[in-house]
Amino acid sequence: MSRSPRSGMVENRGLGLWLTHAGLILGVAFIFFPIWLAFVASTVSQPEIVHPPMPLVPGDQFFENYRKALVAGVNAPVALMLLNSGVMAIGIAVGKIIISLLSAFAIVYFRFPFRRVFFWLIFLTLMLPVEVRIVPTYEVVAGFGMLNSYSGLILPLIASATATFLFRQFFMTVPDELAEAARVDGARPMQFFWDILLPMSRTNIAALFVILFIYGWNQYLWPLLITTDPSMNTIVMGIKQMFPSGDDIADWPVIMATSILAMLPPVVVVIGMQRLFIRGLVESEK
């Protein structure tokens, strides 16, 4: 369709475009403002924060505050807590993905006794999030002597009905003929899983990894319960523990620096996986 560039239609669209952008920018600013405040607070000195008005431009204490947070922290060095959180988040994400891939594979491709029962059992666990079963789970983990350990942080959170369902749905869209072709080609079930099903699921795996990593990273209640040793603290609970109790004076710049640091890994994962994720989406085809 040809239209003069000065026609009302185009101008309207131009205006609409600007309005849309203005709206979006406003929205982003609105969401981003607290984060900006936290960042500013992490770059100034303690006296500057407690004296109103609150500073709105970064100060000159950036390196000082972040160094202090990373190596010293309040209870434990932030670097260590970041490491703990990273191990837990990756452990949960990878563990959940492996378990749910395997269970979905079993449910979709194998006929075994009580298949439906198992299916519904997995389904039932959806109704039992960590918070609901936290006391018995604590009992079990304590009984195994896994308090203050990575396995204690990771294992109880690994079983995942949601991810199992997602993979089950995906596997069911894979044509049966593909499994049959592989069978004719001589592939054993696990070979089919490795060589064909797994590469075909990579998009779903990437998406799930992002979601589960953030889920694991943001765990608060469970780590709080089972880690008493500060060296096993995770960052999310660590921040909370930095808050002053009673008359202590809070070192706000360091707390803010810690908050900013705690935000970075999920952002990195989202951005890093997004590329893979979108590439997978564009390429994927069944």
Residue 279 is a binding residue for other proteins (CB under 8 A) = no
Residue 195 is a binding residue for other proteins (CB under 8 A) = yes
Q: Decide if 248 contacts 56 (C-beta within 8 A).
A: no
b vs e for 225-244, b when ≥16 Cβ sit within 10 Å of the residue's Cβ?
Answer: bbbeebebbbbbbbbeebee
Residue 180 is a binding residue for other proteins (CB under 8 A) = yes
Residue 200 is a binding residue for other proteins (CB under 8 A) = yes
Residue 47 is a binding residue for other proteins (CB under 8 A) = no
Retrieve residue 81's tokens: 């807590």
Residue 183 is a binding residue for other proteins (CB under 8 A) = yes
The residue within the footprint of other proteins, chosen from 114, 199, 247, 282 (CB under 8 A), is 199
Stretch that binds other proteins, among 39-47, 57-65, 187-195, 259-267 (CB under 8 A): 187-195
Stretch that binds other proteins, among 47-55, 153-161, 163-171, 190-198 (CB under 8 A): 190-198
Nearest to residue 204, comparing CAs of 155, 273, 118? 273
Instruction: 107-115: list long-range contacts, CB under 8 Å, 24+ apart.
Output: 107/164, 107/168, 108/168, 108/171, 108/172, 109/171, 109/179, 109/189, 110/189
Give least dist CB 205 to other proteins, A.
13
Residue 282 is a binding residue for other proteins (CB under 8 A) = no
Q: Which residues bind other proteins (CB under 8 A)?
A: 175, 177-178, 180-187, 191, 195-196, 199-200, 285-286
